[in-house]
Amino acid sequence: MLNIVLFGPPGAGKGTQANFLKESFNLKHISTGDVFRKNIKNQTPLGNLAQSYMDKGALVPDQVTIDMLSDEVSKNTSAEGFIFDGFPRNTVQADALESLLSKYDAQVDAMIALEVADEVLVKRLLKRGETSGRADDSSEEIVRNRIQIYYSETAILKSYYQEKQRYHGVDGVGAIDAITARLNAVVKAL
């Protein structure tokens, strides 16, 4: 089982690149955002709670996120591996993911981080907000707040995975196919 954490700030291109990686390596893509939206659309208790945080551009509490993702993994135990997109976001979630995967005699094999400058992120997210209808992409203030939260609360995972010798940084700027090629090279080398 090959398990990858696809990492980067909001707007780095994780969702786009995860779609290519899942096809290339036959992995199940679990996007925290998609899982949240499904729960929100279905108005589950976890979905309603998550929505209240997302509308403010804040991160959803750990246990809500962990519960949602654990459910998705348990529904896909026959997968050849997973791409986790938007999870974990902190060391509590990273430890929870390791514990979850250990139940299946697996671990996170690599964290691959898409590295993108802040101004590029802001432009990408505001452009996405023009068509997505997502409240968290509609305002520059909210977008910048999300990026700042990423740096203050989430970027610490870089050192978490570096200590485990599982961190790989990839330039997330340029043509989509060029970024995909850089990611594929990292995965093939695992």
Residues with catalytic roles = 14, 89, 128, 134, 146
Unique residue bearing structure tokens 């999300």: 146
- CA 103 – CA 155 distance, rounded (Å): 26
Work out the burial of residue 62: count CB atoms within 10 Å of its CB; fewer than 13 is exposed, 13-18 middle, 19 or more buried.
middle
d(CA 109, CA 134): 32
C-alpha distance across the termini of the chain, in Å:
12
Residue 185 corresponds to which amino acid?
Answer: A
Q: Which residues contact 42 (CB under 8 A, 6 or more apart)?
A: none
